């Protein structure tokens, strides 16, 4: 099983979230843009670097909203089990009017998904209900810890609010399995 650490940005403009759109085994999917953390860089440095490399744009990081641990199958030609930890930051484009284009076209495209529409192509799946809700509530329930294991049956997802107004953490399970947090 391959293990890696990623960093991703949640950039919302006009109630749409910026995503990378790609195709894997004939199926279109979207993910929040970011990349793999390199040794010796902070998660914030990584995110800024990735946006310059992938889009040629500068971002301003606002705050950490999700820390997610995921176990899943992935791979373009031959899917293999993967284990990742991802730091998701709220961020915004330094130039709010800039046209965002992926430097990886035609393999990966930049796209904007409406938060109030069907997010069925957005991965990981736990983002589909949380992203619109947390945006609508101004990220008050964040930061959150998410643990998602898609390698077991039934798939298991746990969401835990790391800090609440009363100083306690709160947990819930999104789908399948018991929440052991």
Residue 55 belongs to some domain of the structure: yes
Number of folded domains that form the chain: 1
Residue 82 belongs to some domain of the structure: yes
What's residue 176's pLDDT?
47
With H, G, I as helix, E, B as strand and everything else as coil, classify residue 178: coil
Convert the pLDDT of each residue in 16-58 to its tens digit.
999 999 876 677 889 999 999 999 999 999 999 999 999 999 9
118 pLDDT band (50/70/90 cuts)?
Answer: confident
Residue 158 belongs to some domain of the structure: no
Q: Provide CB contacts within 8 A for 107, sequence distance 6+.
A: 22
Q: Which residue in the block uniquely carries the two structure tokens 């820390």?
A: 67
Residue 170 belongs to some domain of the structure: no
CA dist., res. 108 & res. 100, Å (int)? 12
The domain that holds 65 is classified in CATH as 3.90.79.10
**Is the pTM higher than 0.85?**
yes
CA dist., res. 129 & res. 144, Å (int)? 13
- What is the maximum span of the chain, computed from C-alpha positions, in angstroms? 48
Residue 22 belongs to some domain of the structure: yes
Residue 117, beta-bridge partner list: none
Domain range for 82 is 2-149
Residue 68 belongs to some domain of the structure: yes
Of the listed ranges 34-48, 76-90, 96-110, 150-164, the one predicted with least confidence: 150-164
Residue 56 belongs to some domain of the structure: yes
Residue 118 belongs to some domain of the structure: yes
> Could you tell me the CA-to-CA distances from 73 to 36, 101, 149 in Å, in that order?
17, 28, 10
Mean pLDDT of 123-143: 94
Within 10 A of 65 (CB to CB), how many other CB atoms are there? 20
């Amino acid at each position: 099983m391959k293990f890696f650490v990623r960093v991703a940005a949640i950039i919302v403009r006009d109630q749409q979230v910026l995503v990378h759109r790609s195709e894997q085994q004939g199926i279109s999917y979207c993910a929040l843009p970011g990349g793999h953390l390199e040794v010796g860089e902070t998660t914030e440095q990584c995110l800024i670097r990735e946006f310059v490399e992938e889009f040629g744009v500068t971002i301003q990081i606002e705050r950490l909203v999700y820390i997610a641990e995921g176990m899943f199958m992935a791979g373009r030609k031959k899917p293999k089990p993967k284990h990742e930890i991802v730091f998701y930051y709220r961020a915004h484009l330094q130039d709010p009017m800039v046209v965002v284009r992926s430097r990886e076209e035609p393999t990966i495209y930049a796209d904007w998904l409406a938060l109030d529409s069907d997010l069925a192509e957005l991965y990981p799946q736990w983002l589909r209900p949380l992203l619109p809700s947390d945006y609508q509530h101004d990220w008050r329930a964040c930061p959150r810890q998410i643990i998602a294991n898609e390698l077991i049956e039934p798939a298991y997802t746990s969401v835990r609010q790391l800090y609440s107004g009363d100083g306690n953490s709160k947990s819930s399970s999104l789908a399948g399995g018991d929440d052991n947090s």
